[in-house]
């Protein structure tokens, strides 16, 4: 089994293509499942420039995913996911939204430390204004709290704070251990997210130190490209498959109606996997 559970579309305003475009690409690559995981609508116009509206969720996203699932039945499984932000104060709204909709999985993401959208290039200068070790500690602690929120099935890109190549100056062993223990205790999966290879840091999320802790604690792992264009579906999945062999015993987590199971990973021909250039 091989799946891509982390994809976006033009609905997020910083992506391209329709759900159907992503499914056709996944089908061409020979994936077994493709999941749509558009950025969740949020209350009070929160970060509305990077996400669909609630109205678009209802009138476009939800029906497009359902129609694709129906259209491709018997060839590829189309899963209905969502990438939900963990942001203080919005938890009740997010909880209600998730409860009211039939997702196959919910990916939980930390994209903000306080008000700071730390993975947004527009606010890159803020790294220079802060202590990098404190930023890393705050990040891992926030991810741990996101795991404990009970909202999510999969913890996204769990070292996203490295995106632009900033590295801590001291060991992050303890905060990483605490984060991974929280994820394990809540019975969540993490993802190997290959989009980091297309960013300045040039490595998948998470890196080897976190993956080693995941292996030791037997944290289940799933897979996503975080594609924002259809040609990024399955990007660098040969690299990801090797990591799943090394750190997840050759198993991958798959989801249906928010039920998880671990199944053996299926390797495709290396040539099938695109390696889009960084942008
Ligand atoms: Zn996005
Ligand atoms: Fe994200
Ligand atoms: Fe994403
Ligand atoms: Zn993401």
Distance 12 CA to ligand 1 centre (A): 7
| b (16+ CB within 10 A) / e for 24-53 | bbbeebebbbbbbbbbbbbeeebeeebbbe
Distance 38 CA to ligand 2 centre (A): 10
271 pLDDT more than 80: no
Question: Which residues are CB-contacts of 54 (< 8 A; sequence separation ≥ 6)?
Answer: 41
Distance 158 CA to ligand 3 centre (A): 12
Q: Write the CATH number of the domain with boundaries 3-271.
A: 3.20.20.140
Distance 157 CA to ligand 4 centre (A): 7
Question: Could you report the per-residue pLDDT of 124-146, keeping only the tens digit for each?
Answer: 999 999 999 999 999 999 999 99
Question: Could you report the per-residue pLDDT of 87-97, keeping only the tens digit for each?
Answer: 999 999 999 99
Higher pLDDT, 159 or 275: 159
Question: Could you report the per-residue pLDDT of 153-184, keeping only the tens digit for each?
Answer: 999 999 999 999 999 999 999 999 999 999 99
What are the tokens at 121?
């290039």
The ranges assigned to domains in the chain are 3-271
Give residue 268's pLDDT: 81
Instruction: Please compute the mean of the pLDDT values over residues 255-263 and round it to a whole number.
Output: 98
The pTM of this model reads 0.96
Contact between residue 35 and residue 233 where contact means Cβ atoms under 8 Å apart: no
Distance 83 CA to ligand 2 centre (A): 7
The closest of 111, 130, 127, 124 to 46, measured between CA atoms, is: 111
Higher pLDDT, 279 or 246: 246
Name the average pLDDT for the chain. Answer: 96
Instruction: Tell me the H-state helices in the chain.
Output: 19-29, 54-56, 62-71, 91-100, 132-148, 173-185, 208-217, 237-247
């Amino acid at each position: 089994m091989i799946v891509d559970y982390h994809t976006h579309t033009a609905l997020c305003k910083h992506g391209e293509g329709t759900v159907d475009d992503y499914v056709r690409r996944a089908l061409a690559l020979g994936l077994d499942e493709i999941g749509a995981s558009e950025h969740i609508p949020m209350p009070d116009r929160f970060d509305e420039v990077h996400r669909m509206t609630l109205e678009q969720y209802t009138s476009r996203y939800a029906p497009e995913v359902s129609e694709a699932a129906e259209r491709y039945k018997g060839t590829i499984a189309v899963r209905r996911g969502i990438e939900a932000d963990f942001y203080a104060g919005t938890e009740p709204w997010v909880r209600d939204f998730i409860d009211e909709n039939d997702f196959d999985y919910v990916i939980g993401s930390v994209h903000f430390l306080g008000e700071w959208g730390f993975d947004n290039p527009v606010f890159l200068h803020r790294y220079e204004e802060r202590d990098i070790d404190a930023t890393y500690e705050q990040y891992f602690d926030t991810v741990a709290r996101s795991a404990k929120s009970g909202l999510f099935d999969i913890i996204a890109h769990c070292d996203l704070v490295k995106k632009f190549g900033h590295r801590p100056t001291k060991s992050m062993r303890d905060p990483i251990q605490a984060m991974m223990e929280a994820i394990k205790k809540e019975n969540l999966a993490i993802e190997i997210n290959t989009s980091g290879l297309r960013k300045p840091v040039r490595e998948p999320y998470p890196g080897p130190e976190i993956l080693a802790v995941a292996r030791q604690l037997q944290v289940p792992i799933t897979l996503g490209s975080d594609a924002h264009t259809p040609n990024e579906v399955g990007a660098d999945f040969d690299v990801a498959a090797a990591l799943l062999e090394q750190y997840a015993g050759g198993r991958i987590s798959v989801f249906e109606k928010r039920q998880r199971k671990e199944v053996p990973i299926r390797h495709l021909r290396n040539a099938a996997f695109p390696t889009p250039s960084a942008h």
